[in-house]
């Protein structure tokens, strides 16, 4: 008697209920299933030179290895793709060369915007994912859209990082039957092991975004395996290549002039500052054995474009902002752990910083050291976060990680010491273990020791509370204590049925001075499960249902929160998705027992054309007014709308609005307001673009304008010319400028 697996049984039931005879696509009909593709490829050196120009007539392409048997992963796993793709692979001593010949049934529908780097995700694109060590520890993706706009990624078995940047060359052109993309990927851009013969791993990918977004790969990648690096094919034949011995020098110069109101209450007190120049220098050297050392002196870590304002009028906890500074982007996958023990923005304004990264055998080693001018403190408590800024400090971070082929174990040590006293140290161990293709176990245990500075002035920004069994005060009064946090998660990630169970605890005395922890004194036990079906009908591509639930309690044994949240989402034609969920919650906050909290949410997102895509998030229901002296439940709603409009290939307009309001059942308003932001961009060519950011924060009554001109030859050689202008209203007067800055930045990468 034949036995069905649970996945097969559930899929059979839902397909019968929906009346579908099998996977069907609106454009393709009943799909032809692809034959299994080989799991390896051998390449030969190029017999001649190759010029990256989008043409394939160079003698170096003669005899290149050709790959044709691509397989669709989504929406119709295992099907023959709706568009044919050929890839040519070869190399010389300096570069790996990849050429994509992407045919299309209707080339007029190709999506190919001319836009800044790393902004191609709604376009047609092709890419290659490389694992130079061949052990599924880390992979590097190089991508291009049909007109040569680049993107790159760094992937591990647990993360995907789009902030990393590599120097590589691309060229693309649209043809009568599709498009062609050429790539040259320098071996010195990659951490390549020193070997006589290299045994890499590789995956090739293409997207075909039409009514559905088709994701096509070689080799085939099963949706029952969440580890993409584990699915790569072997790449052999690479030998006698130049690696290591590479010196990079990155000088830069920033010239700026700022101004602000001398008295924030007097709109006529604006004062202009003096002209400032700030030179800086970055150095990077890659050794033959794959080790890399970096140093930066007086770095310019300012952002040329501000973070989008987050609404925090009803939260008592600190908000997390992503890292954008190049020095802290490259190679940071090594420092990512389940708990944010190291958060690079805890190094705020370094005078100097250094990094050392490398590996010996299967063990990766990383070190970061920095001397910081203005040291930030994110001090967590049970029901709020205090944010302070102190003076000078030293930070040291040491990371070890041993790769186990898709799994890993690691240790992380962090230490920050303030001038004049005060320190924070953490020591932790973590691991990610895979069992077969679907199951994984993640764990992290952290111990910390904190010695507070003795600074009455700095203590003015801290609440008047005590914490822990010993009754430590929140004030920075020189107290010393230890704490801990722990994380354990067991998960199944599969095509049809996925789930996870999680336990997390953070003690009342836990702090991570070099990390990000906005709350402590809690234990959490939660679970989530989700089921997904793929009818691939004309009117319905995918449907998913999920349940989330669990409880939270503090170290005193008080149950602080119970939550239960069902949800359902569907993926429709025209790359449109709709999701609905409801959250039922009760909690204890500041000693008040708050029940009957129920919130509903609706999400609609669509990428239905190359000219317009957008997203709507709506929420309404009962919410806790947390900033009142006595918290209580009220009625609130929020709306977040964003869009990307591309009226031409070169122009992009990105408007967004975030509105929130909350009122008590008595009718009293707690707050209401919005943040509106619009970003206008015009890309003249791949190197030159101009953009303008407009943002108005109704909560702060502040208007910001940020024009910027950018000329960028590669991710590191660039010229910026821009300004920022902040204005506010005073009484009945029109907007008055409260602060401004003009700046120019020139940076050039020298490589040898």
Residue 640 in domain? no
Helix (H) or strand (E) holding 18: helix 6-18
Residue 483 in domain? yes
pLDDT for the residue numbered 461: 87
**191: pLDDT strictly greater than 90:** no
Enter the DSSP assignment of 459: G
Please compute the mean of the pLDDT values over residues 46-50 and round it to a whole number. Answer: 95
> Number of C-alpha atoms within 13 angstroms, CB side, residue 375?
25
Dihedral through CA 258, CA 264, CA 266, CA 269, nearest 10?
-20
Distance separating alpha carbons of residues 202 and 142, to the nearest angstrom: 11
10 Å CB burial of residue 126 (0-12, 13-18, 19+) is buried
Distance separating alpha carbons of residues 268 and 404, to the nearest angstrom: 64
Strands 246-261 and 735-747, by their bridges, are antiparallel
Residue 740 in domain? yes
Contact 382, 521 (CB under 8 A): yes
Please compute the mean of the pLDDT values over residues 330-343 and round it to a whole number. Answer: 88
Distance separating alpha carbons of residues 495 and 14, to the nearest angstrom: 14
CATH of the domain at 100: 2.60.40.1190
Please compute the mean of the pLDDT values over residues 31-59 and round it to a whole number. Answer: 86
Among candidate residues 743, 716, 752, 742, the one with its CA nearest the CA of residue 281: 716
**722: pLDDT strictly greater than 70:** yes
Beta strands in 40-104 (DSSP E): 40-42, 65-67, 71-74, 85-91, 95-103
State which of 520, 553, 588 marks the end of a domain. 520
pLDDT category at 194 given cuts 50, 70, 90 is confident
Distance separating alpha carbons of residues 424 and 416, to the nearest angstrom: 5
**556: pLDDT strictly greater than 80:** yes
**495: pLDDT strictly greater than 90:** yes
**11: pLDDT strictly greater than 50:** no
Please compute the mean of the pLDDT values over residues 666-682 and round it to a whole number. Answer: 94
SS (H, E, C) 198-230: CCEEEEEEEEEECCCEEEEEECCCCCCCCCHHH
**415: pLDDT strictly greater than 70:** yes
Q: Do 354 and 257 belong to one domain?
A: no
- Top pLDDT among 267 and 443 is at 443
Q: Please, which residues bridge with residue 704 across strands?
A: 695, 726
Please compute the mean of the pLDDT values over residues 341-369 and round it to a whole number. Answer: 91
Query: Tens digits of per-residue pLDDT, 504-548?
Result: 999 999 999 999 999 999 999 999 999 999 998 889 999 999 999
Q: Do 360 and 441 belong to one domain?
A: yes
Cα Rg, the chain, nearest whole Å: 27
Among candidate residues 414, 416, 412, 415, the one with its CA nearest the CA of residue 392: 416
Place of tokens 């910027």: 708
Q: In 10 A of CB 50, how many CB atoms?
A: 21
**200: pLDDT strictly greater than 90:** yes
Among candidate residues 597, 541, 591, 588, the one with its CA nearest the CA of residue 561: 588
Contact 155, 162 (CB under 8 A): no
Distance separating alpha carbons of residues 310 and 697, to the nearest angstrom: 10
Strands 233-236 and 200-209, by their bridges, are antiparallel
pLDDT for the residue numbered 663: 95
Q: Which residues of 494-517 are buried (b: 16+ CB within 10 A; e: fewer)?
A: bbbbbbbebbbbbbbbbbbbbbbb
Among candidate residues 238, 242, 222, the one with its CA nearest the CA of residue 230: 222
Q: Do 224 and 269 belong to one domain?
A: no
pLDDT for the residue numbered 32: 75
Q: Do 262 and 321 belong to one domain?
A: no
State which of 206, 236, 266 marks the end of a domain. 236
Place of tokens 């690479």: 238
Distance separating alpha carbons of residues 141 and 167, to the nearest angstrom: 12
pLDDT for the residue numbered 301: 64
Domain of residue 450: give its range: 316-520
Residue 300 in domain? no
Q: Do 333 and 436 belong to one domain?
A: yes
3-state secondary structure (DSSP) of residue 594: strand
pLDDT for the residue numbered 659: 97
Please compute the mean of the pLDDT values over residues 285-289 and round it to a whole number. Answer: 78
Residue 158: C-alpha distances to residues 137, 226, 333, 335 (Å)? 10, 9, 9, 12
Query: Tens digits of per-residue pLDDT, 24-43?
Result: 343 444 567 766 567 889 99
- Top pLDDT among 286 and 98 is at 98
Contact 570, 549 (CB under 8 A): no
Beta strands in 9-132 (DSSP E): 40-42, 65-67, 71-74, 85-91, 95-103, 125-131
Distance separating alpha carbons of residues 208 and 120, to the nearest angstrom: 13
Q: Do 371 and 340 belong to one domain?
A: yes
Residue 339 in domain? yes
Contact 54, 172 (CB under 8 A): yes
Contact 690, 680 (CB under 8 A): no
Place of tokens 């591990």: 156
State which of 236, 264, 290 marks the end of a domain. 236
Among candidate residues 686, 732, 719, 724, the one with its CA nearest the CA of residue 703: 724
Q: Do 345 and 473 belong to one domain?
A: yes
Which tokens go with 42?
């051998």
Q: Please, which residues bridge with residue 272 across strands?
A: 259
Among candidate residues 403, 423, 425, 429, the one with its CA nearest the CA of residue 414: 425
Place of tokens 């969920």: 581
Q: Do 255 and 398 belong to one domain?
A: no
Distance separating alpha carbons of residues 570 and 531, to the nearest angstrom: 12
Q: Please, which residues bridge with residue 392 across strands?
A: none
Among candidate residues 508, 387, 513, 390, the one with its CA nearest the CA of residue 450: 513
Q: In 10 A of CB 84, how many CB atoms?
A: 16
Query: Tens digits of per-residue pLDDT, 371-400?
Result: 999 999 999 999 999 999 999 999 999 999
Residue 548 in domain? no
Residue 578 in domain? no
Query: From its phi and psi, is residue 518 left (phi > 0), alpha (psi between -120 and 50) or beta?
Result: alpha
Query: Tens digits of per-residue pLDDT, 472-490?
Result: 999 999 999 999 999 999 9
Please compute the mean of the pLDDT values over residues 11-32 and round it to a whole number. Answer: 44
Q: Do 230 and 260 belong to one domain?
A: no
Q: Do 259 and 351 belong to one domain?
A: no
Residues belonging to the chain? 752
**680: pLDDT strictly greater than 90:** yes
Query: Tens digits of per-residue pLDDT, 610-626?
Result: 899 999 999 999 999 99
Among candidate residues 86, 49, 85, 47, the one with its CA nearest the CA of residue 63: 47
Number of domains in the chain: 3
Q: Do 414 and 500 belong to one domain?
A: yes
Residue 627 in domain? no
Q: In 10 A of CB 222, how many CB atoms?
A: 15
What residues contact 643, with CB distance under 8 A and at least 6 apart? 612, 613, 614, 615, 654, 655, 656
Among candidate residues 64, 81, 63, the one with its CA nearest the CA of residue 72: 81
Q: Do 505 and 395 belong to one domain?
A: yes
């Amino acid at each position: 008697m034949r036995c069905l697996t649970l996945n097969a049984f559930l899929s059979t039931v839902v397909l019968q209920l929906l009346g579908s005879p099998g996977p069907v696509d609106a454009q393709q009909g009943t799909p032809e299933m692809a034959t299994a593709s080989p799991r390896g490829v051998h390449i030969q050196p190029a017999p001649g030179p190759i010029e990256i120009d989008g043409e394939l007539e160079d003698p170096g392409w003669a005899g290149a290895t050709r790959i044709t048997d691509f397989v669709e992963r989504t929406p119709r796993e295992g099907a023959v793709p709706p568009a044919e793709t050929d890839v040519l692979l070869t190399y010389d001593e300096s570069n790996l060369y990849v050429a994509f010949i992407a045919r299309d049934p209707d080339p007029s529908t190709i999506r190919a915007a001319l836009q800044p780097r790393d902004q191609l995700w709604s376009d047609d694109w092709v890419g290659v994912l490389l694992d130079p060590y061949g052990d599924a520890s880390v992979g590097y993706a190089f991508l291009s859209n049909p007109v040569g706009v680049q993107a790159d990624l760094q992937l591990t078995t647990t993360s995907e990082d789009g902030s990393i940047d590599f120097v590589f060359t691309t060229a693309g052109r649209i043809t009568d039957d599709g498009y062609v993309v050429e790539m040259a990927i320098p071996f010195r851009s990659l951490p390549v092991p020193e070997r006589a013969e290299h045994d890499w791993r590789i995956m090739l990918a293409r997207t075909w975004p039409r009514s559905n977004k088709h994701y096509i790969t070689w080799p085939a990648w099963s949706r029952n395996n969440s580890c993409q690096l584990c699915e790569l094919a072997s790449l052999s034949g690479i030998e006698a290549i130049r690696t290591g011995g590479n010196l990079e020098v990155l000088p830069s110069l920033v010239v700026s002039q700022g101004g602000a109101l001398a008295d924030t209450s007097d709109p006529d007190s604006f004062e202009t500052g003096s002209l400032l120049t700030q030179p800086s220098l970055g150095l990077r050297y890659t050794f033959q054995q794959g080790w890399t050392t970096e140093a930066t002196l007086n770095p310019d870590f300012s952002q040329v474009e501000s973070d989008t304002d987050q609404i925090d009028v009803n939260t008592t906890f600190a908000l997390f902002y992503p890292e954008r500074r190049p020095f802290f982007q490259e190679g940071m996958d090594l420092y990512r752990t389940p708990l944010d023990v190291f958060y690079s923005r805890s190094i705020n304004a370094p005078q100097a910083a250094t990094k050392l990264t490398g590996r010996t055998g299967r063990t990766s080693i990383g070190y970061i050291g920095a001397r910081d001018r203005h040291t930030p403190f994110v001090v967590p408590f049970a029901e709020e976060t205090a944010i302070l800024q102190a003076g000078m400090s030293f930070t040291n971070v040491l990371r070890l990680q041993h790769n186990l082929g898709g799994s890993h174990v690691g240790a992380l040590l962090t230490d920050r010491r303030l001038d004049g006293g005060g320190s924070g140290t953490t020591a932790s161990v973590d691991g990610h273990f895979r069992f077969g293709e679907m199951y994984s176990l993640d764990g992290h245990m952290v111990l910390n020791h904190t010695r507070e500075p003795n600074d009455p002035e700095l203590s003015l920004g801290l609440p008047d509370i005590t914490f822990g069994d010993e009754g430590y005060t929140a004030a920075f009064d020189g107290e010393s204590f230890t704490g801990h946090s722990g994380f354990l998660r067991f998960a199944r990630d599969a095509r049809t049925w996925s789930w996870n169970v999680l336990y997390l605890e953070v003690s009342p005395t836990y702090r991570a001075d070099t990390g990000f922890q906005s709350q402590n004194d809690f234990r959490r036990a939660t679970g989530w499960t989700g089921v997904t079906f793929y009818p691939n009908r004309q009117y319905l591509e995918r449907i998913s249902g999920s349940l989330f639930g669990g409880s939270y309690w503090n170290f005193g044994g008080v149950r602080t929160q119970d939550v239960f949240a069902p949800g359902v989402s569907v993926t429709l034609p025209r790359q449109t998705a709709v999701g609905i969920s409801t959250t039922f919650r009760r909690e204890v906050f500041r000693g008040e027992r708050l029940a009957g909290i129920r919130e509903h949410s609706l999400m609609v997102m669509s990428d239905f054309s190359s000219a317009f895509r957008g997203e709507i998030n709506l929420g309404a229901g009962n919410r806790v007014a947390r900033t009142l002296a006595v918290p209580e439940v009220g009625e609130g709603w929020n709306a977040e709308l964003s869009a990307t409009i591309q009226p031409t290939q070169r122009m992009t307009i990105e408007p967004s609005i975030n509105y929130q309001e909350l009122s008590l059942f008595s009718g009293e308003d707690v707050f209401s307001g919005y943040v509106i932001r619009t970003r206008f961009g015009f890309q003249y060519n791949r190197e030159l673009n101009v953009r303008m950011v407009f943002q108005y924060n109704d909560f702060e009554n502040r208007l910001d304008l940020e024009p910027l001109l950018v000329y960028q030859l590669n991710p590191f050689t660039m010229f910026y010319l821009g300004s920022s202008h902040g204005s506010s209203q005073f009484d009945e007067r029109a907007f008055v400028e409260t602060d401004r800055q003009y700046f120019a930045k020139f940076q050039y990468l020298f490589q040898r």
